[in-house]
Amino acid sequence: MRREGSPWQGLGVVVLKELSDHLASARMRVLEWLVVLTALAAVYAAITQVRDVTAQDPFLFLRLFTTARDPLPSFVSFLGFLVPLMAIGLGFDAINGEHNRRTLSRILSQPIYRDALLFGKFIAGLTTLAISLIVLWLLVIGLGLLLLGVPPGGPEMGRALIFLAVTIAYAGVWLALAMLFSVVFRSPATAALVTLGLWLFLTVIWPALAPAIAEAFVPADDQALLVTTAQMLARVSPSTLYGESVLALLHPTTRALGPVYLSQLQGAVMGAPLPLWQSVMVAWPQIVGLIAASILLFVGGYVAFQRQEVRA
Amino acid sequence: MSIPVIEARGLTKRYGTATAVDGVNFKVAAGEIFGLLGPNGAGKTTTILMLLGLSDISSGEARVFGHDPMREPLAVKRLVGYLPDTVGFYDNMTAADNLHYTARLMGMRSAERKQKIAAALARVGLAEVAEKKVGTFSRGMRQRLGLAEIIMKDARIAILDEPTNGLDPQASIELLELIRSLKAHGVSILLSSHLLDRVQSVCDRVALFNAGKIALMGTVPELGRHVLGGGFAVEVEAESSDGIAKRLSALPGVRSVEAPAPGRFRMTCDRDLRAEAAAAVVAAGGRLKQLSLDQPSLEEIYTRYFQNVQEEARHAA
């Protein structure tokens, strides 16, 4: 059965409205300050740490992102923790909030499809996240220029830019997940709790659980299989995927993200950095996985929303 | 009756094994106010959502200006203005901004929007609070803002779900006045309610819902005749004359005459016999003091109907 008209009708209107809501909301301001303050602290710590080795390191700028100094974790680990929090904060009441305000049926009785509302909210959320992440990224680069006094090279900037894109994709996964639960659960509090619970599980518990599960199902004498199985299981979590792709992108010497046999290392110049695109190739499955996960989760939310009854 | 603007044929909605709306047939003519009445949970809102294309139709079909809400929902939604049961707005936005958002969703241009929103808010009496946040609005003001949205949309049909629900008497009288003025502007109106006396005053025709089916449909007097059995009840009050009762009962079309009190007569007749009754009283030498036609109230019809249904059910069991 063909529907008349375009599913995108009204999309731009919804995006603009949601975007202005997000950018003006108190919730967003709190999250932004949280992210900016903690991330800047991490970068400052990193800078004081790497200053001493300025001359030797060819990828000095990337160290800004990855260097940790006790007691602060690195900028990247901060992001891995806070980006999901921001995304969930923006998405957990996307649809059920409209339900509870009783605006949903009134908005849907305008000449638009449900597609426009859901997709518009997703785009607006992702744009908000992208804006804050880009600002943060520029802040870090700016601070680096000021405090290190060394201009970054082309490949470094390329890596940093791809890292930014991957972080946005990572945010998209959590946003799509939060929106899916905002469709499924009528109460925003339930949706937020379930999403946060799942996030904690996938980020903290699952990576520790994966080897244990692998051990239970794989014969103990096959060490290689055991390691790969554990790794495959761990990669179910978007946090693992993000961590691995960041590792490949920001540590140019990373040659593989899985176990490597000694025979494969024959002739390799240990410790030599890979060219930019080779590093991207190493992280490519993880990057695609992140994008695919956000698409899948969004489609799940879309299907659930299309079938949902609008009456309160 | 002119061409129907809304037509439902065998409209049915099933949720799993439960049937919320069961083979409903009705037509709404252009320019009329049609009321869907019935207890909560009788299927009124589900019927409305199916007409709007917001809920899938299990079987049967609906037409709104000849458009199928399942296949051409956008065409339907462009023509229809909908005021949901306890309508909600974005509380942190002003009344005007809320309308601007929906007007943009309708694809209205900026200049047109400004002018139409101002006019609509003025018509519902919200012009002074146009720049106030909706969070401060009372329930009645929200309902009126909802009507302003329909006015701004230039909707040909207004579908109002429980418009007077939860309003104080003053607010609901104002709202019904606005609904009448919508009709005067040529808008056809479909409204649902369980508040009968208020609805009776505005509806041209009503459909009585019961357990997902339309039990009765027609104008209020038609329903009265059907349910209450008797035709018209004319009350006559006259002074000091004998033989009035006899003369009244001799009139053609009178079924019975009772005298509940001295000087008062209550006649049940097939049609409105007020003029004839007056002539008869005067001819008998009586002095006519009062003459009135008892309109059957919707409340009475409704209660009696459901009593009958329950009794039948008890007999069957």
**Are A112 and B55 within 8 A, CB to CB?**
no
Cβ(B91)–Cβ(B135) below 8 Å: yes
Q: Which chain B residues are closer than 8 Å to A2 by Cβ?
A: 71
Which residue from A2, A5, A311 is facing B74, i.e. has the nearest CB?
A: A5
How far is residue B144's CA from residue A26's CA, in Å, rounded to a whole number?
30
Nearest CA to CA, how far is A243 from chain B (Å)?
39
For the segment A246-257, what is each residue's pLDDT rounded down to a tens digit?
A: 988 988 888 777
Q: Which chain B residues are closer than 8 Å to A107 by Cβ?
A: 102, 105
pLDDT reading at B53 higher than 70 = yes
Pairing of strands B18-29, B33-37: unpaired
**Are B78 and A2 within 8 A, CB to CB?**
no
- Closest residue, chain B, to A114 (C-alpha): B54
Number of Cβ pairs < 8 A linking chain A and chain B: 85
Q: Please tell me whether residues B177 and B267 are part of one structural domain.
A: no
A129 located within any domain: yes
Which residue from B83, B90, B106 is facing A110, i.e. has the nearest CB?
A: B106
Residue B240 has what pLDDT? 63
A166 located within any domain: yes
Q: Please tell me whether residues B121 and B49 are part of one structural domain.
A: yes
For the segment A172-183, what is each residue's pLDDT rounded down to a tens digit?
A: 999 999 999 999
Rounded to the nearest integer, the mean pLDDT of chain A is 88
Domain that holds residue B11: 4-218
A175 located within any domain: yes
**Are B54 and A103 within 8 A, CB to CB?**
no
B301 located within any domain: no
Q: Please tell me whether residues B211 and B62 are part of one structural domain.
A: yes
Residue B241 has what pLDDT? 64
Residue B232 has what pLDDT? 74
Residue A272 has what pLDDT? 78
- Calculate the CA dihedral of residues B249, B250, B252, B254 and round it to 10 degrees: 10
Q: Among candidates B26, B2, B35, which has minimal Cα distance to B201?
A: B35
Which residue from B55, B72, B91 is facing A309, i.e. has the nearest CB?
A: B55
How far is residue B317's CA from residue B314's CA, in Å, rounded to a whole number?
5
How far is residue A25's CA from residue A42's CA, in Å, rounded to a whole number?
26
Q: Please tell me whether residues B67 and B16 are part of one structural domain.
A: yes
Q: Domains in chain B: how many in total?
A: 2
Token representation of residue A15:
């995006």
A280 located within any domain: no
A220 located within any domain: no
Q: Please tell me whether residues B178 and B202 are part of one structural domain.
A: yes
Which residue from B74, B85, B149 is facing A9, i.e. has the nearest CB?
A: B74
A58 located within any domain: yes
pLDDT reading at A312 higher than 70 = no
Cβ(B71)–Cβ(B236) below 8 Å: no
pLDDT reading at B36 higher than 70 = yes
Q: Which chain A residues are closer than 8 Å to B102 by Cβ?
A: 106-107, 110
Residue A71 has what pLDDT? 77
Nearest CA to CA, how far is B83 from chain A (Å)?
7
Q: Which long-range contacts (CB under 8 A, 24 or more apart) does B20-23 make?
A: B20/B46, B20/B212, B21/B46, B21/B47, B21/B50, B21/B212, B22/B211, B22/B212, B22/B213, B23/B60, B23/B213
**Are B73 and A309 within 8 A, CB to CB?**
no
B305 located within any domain: no
Instruction: Give the lowest-confidence range in A16-25, B10-19, B219-228.
Output: B219-228
How far is residue A294's CA from residue A288's CA, in Å, rounded to a whole number?
10
A301 located within any domain: yes
B299 located within any domain: no
Q: Please tell me whether residues B58 and B145 are part of one structural domain.
A: yes
- The enclosing domain of B247 has a CATH number of 3.30.70.100
Pairing of strands B205-210, B213-218: antiparallel
B143 located within any domain: yes
**pLDDT (mean) for B242-247:** 79
**pLDDT (mean) for A138-144:** 86
B117 located within any domain: yes
Q: Please tell me whether residues B239 and B129 are part of one structural domain.
A: no
Token representation of residue B10:
């065998």
Nearest CA to CA, how far is B86 from chain A (Å)?
7
- Closest residue, chain A, to B75 (C-alpha): A111
B243 located within any domain: yes
Q: Please tell me whether residues B41 and B99 are part of one structural domain.
A: yes
Nearest CA to CA, how far is B266 from chain A (Å)?
48
One-letter amino acid at A100 equals: N
- Closest residue, chain B, to A109 (C-alpha): B77
Instruction: Give the lowest-confidence range in A147-151, A159-163, B46-50, B136-140.
Output: A147-151
Q: Which chain B residues are closer than 8 Å to A311 by Cβ?
A: 45-46, 49, 55
Residue A228 binned pLDDT confidence (cut-offs 50, 70, 90): confident
**pLDDT (mean) for B80-108:** 93
Cβ(A84)–Cβ(A199) below 8 Å: yes
| DSSP H/E element including A73 | none
For the segment A94-104, what is each residue's pLDDT rounded down to a tens digit?
A: 999 999 999 99
- Calculate the CA dihedral of residues B111, B117, B119, B122 and round it to 10 degrees: -150
Q: Please tell me whether residues B56 and B197 are part of one structural domain.
A: yes
**Are B54 and A13 within 8 A, CB to CB?**
no
Rounded to the nearest integer, the mean pLDDT of chain B is 87
pLDDT reading at A209 higher than 70 = yes
- The enclosing domain of B74 has a CATH number of 3.40.50.300
How many percent of chain A have pLDDT more than 90?
A: 46
**Are A10 and B105 within 8 A, CB to CB?**
yes
- Closest residue, chain A, to B105 (C-alpha): A10
- Closest residue, chain A, to B91 (C-alpha): A101
Q: Please tell me whether residues B112 and B193 are part of one structural domain.
A: yes
DSSP 8-state symbol, A55: T
Cβ(A143)–Cβ(A47) below 8 Å: yes
pLDDT reading at A195 higher than 70 = yes
pLDDT reading at A270 higher than 80 = no
Nearest CA to CA, how far is A309 from chain B (Å)?
6
**Are B82 and A103 within 8 A, CB to CB?**
no
B89 against B216, higher pLDDT: B89
Q: Which chain A residues are closer than 8 Å to B105 by Cβ?
A: 10, 13-14, 107, 110-112
Q: Please tell me whether residues B190 and B290 are part of one structural domain.
A: no
- Closest residue, chain A, to B159 (C-alpha): A109
B44 against B266, higher pLDDT: B44
Q: Please tell me whether residues B79 and B163 are part of one structural domain.
A: yes
B304 located within any domain: no
Residue A126 has what pLDDT? 96
Q: Which chain A residues are closer than 8 Å to B71 by Cβ?
A: 1-4
Residue B2 binned pLDDT confidence (cut-offs 50, 70, 90): low
**pLDDT (mean) for B103-129:** 94
pLDDT reading at B266 higher than 90 = no
Domain endpoint, select from B176, B200, B218: B218
Residue A55 has what pLDDT? 61
Q: Which residue has the tokens 């038609």?
A: B222
Give me the half-sphere count of Cα atoms (radius 13 Å) on the Cβ side of residue A34.
15
Q: Which chain B residues are closer than 8 Å to A10 by Cβ?
A: 104-105, 107
B168 located within any domain: yes
Q: Which chain B residues are closer than 8 Å to A112 by Cβ?
A: 74, 77, 105
Cβ neighbours for A152, distance < 8 A, ≥ 6 positions apart: A60, A61, A141, A144, A145, A160
**Are B88 and A110 within 8 A, CB to CB?**
no
For the segment B212-230, what is each residue's pLDDT rounded down to a tens digit?
A: 899 889 888 788 777 766 6
Residue A93 binned pLDDT confidence (cut-offs 50, 70, 90): very high
**Are B105 and A106 within 8 A, CB to CB?**
no
For the segment A68-89, what is each residue's pLDDT rounded down to a tens digit?
A: 777 778 888 888 888 999 999 9
pTM assigned to the model: 0.87
The arrangement of strands across the sheet holding B232-239 comes to B254-261, B264-269, B232-239, B287-294
Q: Domains in chain A: how many in total?
A: 1
Cβ-based neighbour number of residue A195 at 10 Å: 24
Cβ-based neighbour number of residue B194 at 10 Å: 18
pLDDT reading at B196 higher than 80 = no
Residue B252 has what pLDDT? 84
A285 located within any domain: no
ipTM of the complex: 0.86
pLDDT reading at B304 higher than 90 = no
Domain that holds residue A114: 11-200+294-307
List residues of B whose CB lies inside 8 A of any A CB: 45-46, 49, 52, 54-55, 70-75, 77-78, 80-91, 101-102, 104-107, 146, 149
Q: Among candidates B50, B49, B81, B83, which has minimal Cα distance to B165?
A: B83
Residue A124 binned pLDDT confidence (cut-offs 50, 70, 90): very high
pLDDT reading at B3 higher than 60 = yes
